[in-house]
Structure 1
Amino acid sequence: MVDPLLVVGVLVSMFVAYNIGGSTTGPAFGPAVGADAISKTAAAALMAVFFFAGAWTIGRNVVTKLGTELVSDPGVFTLEASITVLFFIGVALLMGNIFGVPASTSMTAVGAIAGLGLAGGVLDLAVMGEIVIWWVVSPIIGFWVSLIIGRYFYARLNRIVAMERSTGPLFDIDRSGPIPIPSVHRTTNRRELYGTATVVAIGCLMAFSSGTSNIANAVAPLVGSDELAMNPAIIFGGIAVAIGAFTIARRTLETMGSDITELPLTAAIVVASVSSTLVVFLSWLGIPASFVVIATVSIIGLGWGRATRPMTVPEAVTADDPPRVSVDALAADEEGEELPPIGEESPERTDAGDLFNPATTARVVLMQNVVPAIATAGAYLTFRFVPIFGF
């Protein structure tokens, strides 16, 4: 007979995964939906497939790290403790939604499990230190890679990626036969197809990276308790993410489809590529990573790089008038215009703030640190002083 408490644990785990699906589908496929490249239904389907692929392959490394290695005695993961840890992760998601800032479920999951380990005296400080070091190093890597791209390669990338949507659909669907057959619409050009394919491919990469890291946030406590095996846990989590992608994610797709395009399309692709690649790499190492933190710092780096792109005057006017260096905020705008002559830069285009809002950035970074700290403290106090846990 199945333990009713285990059923409760699985349901809570799936609820966390459901919210992960709802919150991560928008950032992954919002640009593609906003550009009318794919429908919301297609975005949800791609999210479900690539999230599960990431979870089933690399994601189990992170599940193992959180479920069995972060604490020296996995026996502390009783069903009651596992449900409590998942509760704190769910509260983090709720707080993020309330404040309009996506809380890092990875950092919060680590914080809640660390609180459990501290209360039970079984926290592996070496593993915790390794995770924290990578949390510090990975955003720095994202910052510098994005800065270099923004400073030296962005204008060239923009000329390759930038596209204008033609009128009409991208594809025509012939439904006269038993199997619908797509064909390229007569007004669709090759550049538009390449740009669309790039946007969708980046969304798939983000969905895959989300699966590699976020599946552990939903299932690691149950796997660590040995009450649920790895494969069934990943399957349950994948199903819940898919449900979230097809339901509540429809609203976030609408929001992100417009909000994320406050970044130029090329900038969004650069940030998503850098951040996703780092998350997949860290997941391969078994390190739970925060996509939002890495992406936020990458946006800052890209903006800084674009804002400090140098352009020098070829010759000095006189011996007393040496060559000067000018900076232009965006280097070249999304329509491919050339840099203005020196001395004629537009004031509104000379601030990296065009790419990121300092106040919003500070709020995101603050919440990304406050929420995990609250989860750690709350879990520690709960496991330490609530009698039913016996620590």
Structure 2
Amino acid sequence: MTEVLLLVGILVAVFVGYNIGGATTGPAFGPAVGAKVITKLFAAALMSVFFFLGAITIGPQVVDTLGTELVTDTAVFTMRSNVAVLFFIGGALFLGNYAGVPASTSMTAVGAISALGLATGELNWAILGRIVAWWIVAPVVGFWVSGVIGRYFYPRLNAWIAIEQDPDREDPMVTVTTNGGIPTIATSDDLGRRKTIGAAVVVVIGCLMAFSSGTSNIANAIAPIYGTGDVDMVTLILIGSAAVAVGAFTIARRTLDTLGNDITNLPLTAAIVVAVVSSAIVITLSWLGIPASFVIIATMSIVGLGWGRATRTTTLPGAARGEETTVSVGSLTAEEEGETPPEIGEESVEDIPRGSDLFDPSTTARVILMQNVVPVVSTVGAFLTFRFVPLF
């Protein structure tokens, strides 16, 4: 019976890993895909490789945190309870992925494990409070840092990088070709030196975000199983990482569309800003030993940048001195390469784009709603099960 439960537990862990791949690939490579730097297939391959590298190097520390510190007695991690915990984690994440909204795997997993600890009286409130405090602070920091950049510094950054996203472009800027059976990375012939550097930067930062995701999110799939002591760490990491790769190549296509296209139409400059801000925050949290809410931070960075660009103001020409009238710029137009961008308040009315799609409030509201609903479903469902079902 124990062997059967262990097999079921591993299968459910694989299901969780599959959904982690779907949920985290979008925030890591959505900006690069939305800016048409790389394809979804290439993004999935990079996600698979760098997630594993993060999981096998720093990931074990986070696994220990969730598997031994969040509850005061690891005896609660029986095979039966683990199957239930992983079931609620995987089911809730699948709900978000099905809706095309990447949910926070850390919030979902910590919620389910905390529900087990609460129902059994073994929850470590000090550890949970520390984790939740950082979850509140980090997305706010990501939103406002990106918002300030979008509102006050984006035009100068865009002029310096001098990269435009061509809406009619069909081919990605970076592709993988095979030369004698050896994969090689090639760039489009129409890219100049500065565009090539910009494309390389956004891909490298996406890889760094994938690495950071591996350090934090591998624990969400395997920590309950590891807590039983029946399977060693390396084996579980290999299984979990393989499941993440499957999710990245399949269900992640929907979240890549949401994060790269639906919330905000990201040019390459914006993609770089989002990647730098969110990856810096995630790395900092991982360094502190916090299971980072990777999806929330990256999503709020995208939202913050879109909001910042959408709320720039400009002075209407012809206004009387002392009676200047300002209007929202909706978003900044992408400056032509080589042109000097205007300062805030110096744009002309002709510079204001009509029907701008750089910030979509309705899609943003849907994303934020689902990102809160998914962890709640996992936490409440797990608590009710452990509290009222005698089997657990």
TM tier, smaller: 0.7 to 0.9
Cα distance in structure 1, aligned partners of 2:184 and 2:267: 33
Separation in structure 2 between the aligned mates of residue 141 and residue 171 of structure 1, nearest angstrom: 34
Tell me what 1:210 maps to. 213
Find out whether 1:243 has 2:219 as its counterpart. Answer: no
Once residues 330 and 219 of structure 2 are traced to their aligned partners in structure 1, the CA distance between those partners, rounded to angstroms, is 40
Q: Contact conserved, 1:22 with 1:249, CA < 8 A, in 2?
A: yes
Residues 25/154 of structure 1: CA separation in 2 closer, same or farther (3 Å cut): same
Instruction: Tell me the equivalent position of 1:330.
Output: 331
Query: Residue 57 of structure 1 corresponds to which residue in structure 2?
Result: 57
In the other structure, the counterpart of 1:101 is 101
Deviations 1:270-321 (A, max 9, x none): 22321222122212222222233223332343234334546689xx976xx3
CA distance 1:99–1:7, change in 2 (3 Å): same
Distance 1:90 1:74 in 2: 21
Amino acid corresponding to residue 330 of structure 1 in structure 2 = S
- Choose the corresponding residue for 1:345, options 324, 349, 374: 349
The answer to whether structure 1 residue 11 and structure 2 residue 15 are counterparts is: no
RMSD of Structure 2 on Structure 1 (CA): 3.6
Q: Which letter does structure 2 place at the counterpart of 1:333?
A: A
Gaps of 5+ in 1: none
1:364 aligned partner, one-letter code: V
Describe how 1:209-288 pairs up with structure 2 within 5 A: 209-249=212-252, 258-259=261-262, 262-288=265-291
Q: Say yes or no: does 1:132 pair with 2:132.
A: yes
Q: For residues 7 and 285 of structure 1, what CA distance do their matches in structure 2 show?
A: 33
Instruction: Kindly report which structure 2 residues correspond to 1:36-55, keeping only aligned pairs within 5 A, or say none.
Output: 37-55=37-55
Moved more, 45-54 or 152-161: 152-161
Residues 186, 329 of structure 1: alpha-carbon distance in 2 compared, 3 angstrom cutoff: closer
Gaps of 5+ in 2: none
Residues 40-72 of structure 1 show CA distances to partners (whole Å, capped at 9, x for unaligned) of 443332111110112223322322221111111
Task: Please name the residue that 1:200 is paired with.
Answer: 203
Q: Tell me, in whole angstroms, the C-alpha distance in 2 between the residues paired with 1:178 and 1:94.
A: 36
> 1-side partners of 2:48 and 2:137: how far apart?
30
- Deviation of 1:125 (Å): 0.9
Change (3 A) 1:148 1:239: same
CA 1:129 to 1:328, structure 2 compared with 1: closer, same or farther past 3 Å?
Answer: same
CA deviation string 1:211-238 (max 9, x = no partner): 1221111111112222233222212111
SS in 2 for 1:83: helix
For residue 356 of structure 1, the aligned residue among 356, 359, 378 is 359
Q: TM-score, normalised by structure 2?
A: 0.83
State the TM-score, normalizing by the size of structure 1.
0.84
Q: Is the 8 A contact 2:202 2:275 kept in 1?
A: no
Q: Distance in 2 between matches of 1:200 and 1:289?
A: 21
Residue 2 of structure 1 and its aligned partner are, at CA, apart by: 8.0
Amino acid at match of 1:214: N
Classify 1:239/1:181 alpha carbon distance in 2 versus 1 (closer, same or farther; 3 Å).
Answer: closer
> Are positions 1:123 and 2:107 aligned together?
no
- What fraction of aligned residue pairs are identical, expressed as a percent? 59
* Equivalent-residue separation in structure 2 for 1:98 and 1:240 (angstroms): 17
Moved more, 370-379 or 156-165: 156-165
Determine the C-alpha separation between the residues in 2 that align with 1:182 and 1:380. 48
Contact 1:151-1:308 at 8 Å conserved across structures: yes
Report how many aligned residue pairs link the two structures.
385
